[in-house]
């Protein structure tokens, strides 16, 4: 009979444990219904809202109320509360767009990059990449300042052309790229003119050379060729000066800069004559301009 004496309290203990667990479950369910947790304190965690409702609230704030920052927060709530839903995917690109509209460019770029990482094959991936480029583009500084953001804008916009050449954003990306190229060329011209004023002709030539070789489709190339004529004449390198003037006259015969270059060469008793072996001539012939 000793076995029976031992087993009674063991069974009773198990019954007490089951009853206690049942009471805890009941208390938990009652607490959830009443807004209190197991320890009797109020649970302030708001219930999740429907994904489509949050998304539409974001659209309303963005399009009707014109409050893009608040709209972005609504879209982010969709991602937080419903992270694996289709609404979350849509909301991620919309939050990036809302931040772009609010000129919160760092947040826009961060969201767009995350979108591309998570959804590289999505139809909206092209737009996400475009938003990155546009965000950098809108922050391009004036010509006197560092042009790092201009370089980043170009790189991001080039990705639109490379990855999504048939997308509806490709044409706009190309237009922005041309403006960015013009900005970079303008920076080179500014530095080149500074060297020219300081009579550092070699330094000036190196800057104008960048414009002629890398940015010859920009509006600055005409002046760059004239400045090359000026710098080479100052150094007594007449043949290169003649070539710069000749290439300028051949490609931009009506340019006011050609008139200046022509006068400079004539003042030295020479004529604009192109040396086909010159780097200037080769640079233009590569793109079929010379």
| Model pLDDT, residue 46 | 53
> Are residues 214 and 280 located together in one domain of the fold?
yes
In a domain, 31, yes or no: no
| Model pLDDT, residue 196 | 98
Distance CA 258, CA 192 (A): 18
Length of the chain as a residue count: 290
| Model pLDDT, residue 286 | 64
> Are residues 87 and 173 located together in one domain of the fold?
yes
Count of domains forming the chain: 2
> Are residues 136 and 218 located together in one domain of the fold?
no
In a domain, 225, yes or no: yes
DSSP symbol at 42: B
Q: Is 97:132 a contact under the CB 8 Å cutoff?
A: no
> Are residues 233 and 137 located together in one domain of the fold?
no
For 19-23, the CB contacts below 8 A with 24+ separation are none
pLDDT means per 10 residues, the chain with 290 residues, are 36 38 36 44 59 95 96 95 94 98 98 97 96 98 95 98 97 97 97 98 98 95 98 97 97 96 94 95 68
> Are residues 159 and 107 located together in one domain of the fold?
yes
| Model pLDDT, residue 226 | 98
In a domain, 290, yes or no: no
| Model pLDDT, residue 213 | 96
> Are residues 101 and 221 located together in one domain of the fold?
no
With H, G, I as helix, E, B as strand and everything else as coil, classify residue 36: strand
Distance CA 280, CA 285 (A): 9
Domain boundary among 179, 207, 240: 179
Q: Is 149:182 a contact under the CB 8 Å cutoff?
A: no
H helices of the chain, in order, are 2-34, 51-59, 68-81, 86-101, 105-118, 125-137, 148-163, 170-197, 201-214, 221-235, 238-251, 256-267, 279-285
In a domain, 230, yes or no: yes
Which of 22, 85, 24, 25 has the alpha carbon at shortest distance from 50? 85
Domain boundary among 117, 144, 179: 179
- Structural domain span for residue 256: 199-285
Distance CA 8, CA 11 (A): 5
Distance CA 54, CA 59 (A): 9
> Are residues 157 and 276 located together in one domain of the fold?
no
In a domain, 234, yes or no: yes
What CATH number has the domain bearing residue 63? Answer: 1.25.40.10
> Are residues 58 and 149 located together in one domain of the fold?
yes
> Are residues 62 and 125 located together in one domain of the fold?
yes
In a domain, 139, yes or no: yes
In a domain, 215, yes or no: yes
> Are residues 58 and 171 located together in one domain of the fold?
yes
> Are residues 60 and 173 located together in one domain of the fold?
yes
Distance, CA of 52 to chain centre: 29
In a domain, 33, yes or no: no
DSSP symbol at 275: -
> Are residues 58 and 130 located together in one domain of the fold?
yes
């Amino acid at each position: 009979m000793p076995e029976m004496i031992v087993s009674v309290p063991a069974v009773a203990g198990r019954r007490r444990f089951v009853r206690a667990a049942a009471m805890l479950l009941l208390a938990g369910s009652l607490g959830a219904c009443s807004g209190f947790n197991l320890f009797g304190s109020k649970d302030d965690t708001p219930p999740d809202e429907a994904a489509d409702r949050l998304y539409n609230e974001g659209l309303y704030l963005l399009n009707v109320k014109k409050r893009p920052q608040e709209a972005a927060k609504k879209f982010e709530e969709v991602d937080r509360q419903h992270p694996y839903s289709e609404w979350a995917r849509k909301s991620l690109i919309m939050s990036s767009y809302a931040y772009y509209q609010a000129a919160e460019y760092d947040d826009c770029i961060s969201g767009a990059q995350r979108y591309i990482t998570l959804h590289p094959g999505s139809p909206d991936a092209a737009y996400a990449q475009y938003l990155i480029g546009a965000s950098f583009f809108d922050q391009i500084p004036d010509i006197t300042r560092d042009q790092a953001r201009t370089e980043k804008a170009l790189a991001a916009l080039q990705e639109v052309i490379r990855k999504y050449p048939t997308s509806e954003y490709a044409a706009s990306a190309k237009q922005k790229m041309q403006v960015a190229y013009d900005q970079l060329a303008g920076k080179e011209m500014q530095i080149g003119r500074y060297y020219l004023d300081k009579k550092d002709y070699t330094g000036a030539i190196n800057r104008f050379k960048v414009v002629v070789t890398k940015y010859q489709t920009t509006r600055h190339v005409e002046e760059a060729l004239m400045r090359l004529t000026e710098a080479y004449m100052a150094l007594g390198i007449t043949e290169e000066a003649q070539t710069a003037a000749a290439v300028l006259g051949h490609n931009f015969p009506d340019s006011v800069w050609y008139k200046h270059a022509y006068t400079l060469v004539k003042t030295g008793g020479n004529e604009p004559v192109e040396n086909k072996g010159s780097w200037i001539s080769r640079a233009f012939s590569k793109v079929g301009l010379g």
